[in-house]
Amino acid sequence: MKKRNLFVRITAIVLCAIMVLSVFAVALNAFAAEPTATAVAADTGSPDNTWIIVAVVAAVLVVAACIVVPKVSNKK
């Protein structure tokens, strides 16, 4: 049972890391675009790439929770 629990945690951490890397890749791609490309995105209703920043913050919070919650729950 302990090996299974370890496998699940390692898998979850790897998946979170992949998620964070993909969000950062999209964020870098959006911020590296030419000014004319971002002007086109503004016409579609995307307000200054704010949703990308929100996605990055959410991904970082998920990873932090995956690291902090098991440590806090083991202390009790």
Q: Could you tell me the pLDDT band of residue 62, with boundaries at 50, 70 and 90?
A: confident
DSSP string, the chain: -HHHHHHHHHHHHHHHHHHHHHHHHHHHHHHTS-HHHHHHHHHTT--TTHHHHHHHHHHHHHHHHHHHHHHHHH--
Most confident of 5-14, 56-65, 66-75: 5-14
Kindly report, residue by residue over 6-61, the tens digit of the pLDDT: 888 889 889 888 888 888 888 787 777 666 655 555 455 555 667 777 877 888 88
